[in-house]
């Protein structure tokens, strides 16, 4: 997975907001389904599904095949997570570890989230 540090940090902030307040990031699409702005943003930055596949313990090819046959919630449940919220919490931990691996400190990560989270809430 090759994401820039800025993208990883932005995804971390959005994931933190979406994980703490479920339903906050939902918008209504007329007479269709409810789609989350978080899911849209994640799909934009993770077009090939590499990040989501890594969180779920699948290869990107397996994730893509499963996504064609099932909804994302069904894919999550088949991989052992109970809900989207559990997936978001796992993603939050993964992104934090990614930033720690890139030289960020825990205090810097927390400060980054605290200063930018009110923009998304």
Dump pLDDT digits (tens) for 75-88: 888 888 888 888 88
Q: Is the dihedral of CA 50, 99, 13, 9 positive or negative?
A: negative
16-72 per-position pLDDT tens digit: 887 766 554 444 444 445 556 777 777 777 777 788 888 888 898 998 888 889 888
Q: Is-contact 107 119, C-beta < 8 A?
A: no
**Per-residue model confidence (pLDDT) at position 31:** 42
Closest CA to 15 of 90, 83, 81, 67: 90
**Per-residue model confidence (pLDDT) at position 34:** 53
Q: Is the pLDDT of residue 1 over 90?
A: no
pTM of the model: 0.78
């Amino acid at each position: 997975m090759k994401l820039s540090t800025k993208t990883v940090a932005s995804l971390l902030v959005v994931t933190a907001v979406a994980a703490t307040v479920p339903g906050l990031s939902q918008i209504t699409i007329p007479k269709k389904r409810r789609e989350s702005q978080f899911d849209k943003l994640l799909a934009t930055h993770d077009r090939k599904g590499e990040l989501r596949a890594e969180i779920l313990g699948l290869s990107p090819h397996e994730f893509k095949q499963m996504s064609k046959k099932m909804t994302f919630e069904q894919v999550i449940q088949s991989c052992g997570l109970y809900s989207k919220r559990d997936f978001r919490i796992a993603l939050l931990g993964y992104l934090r570890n990614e930033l720690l691996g890139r030289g960020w400190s825990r205090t810097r990560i927390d400060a980054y989230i605290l200063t930018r989270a009110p923009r998304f809430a």
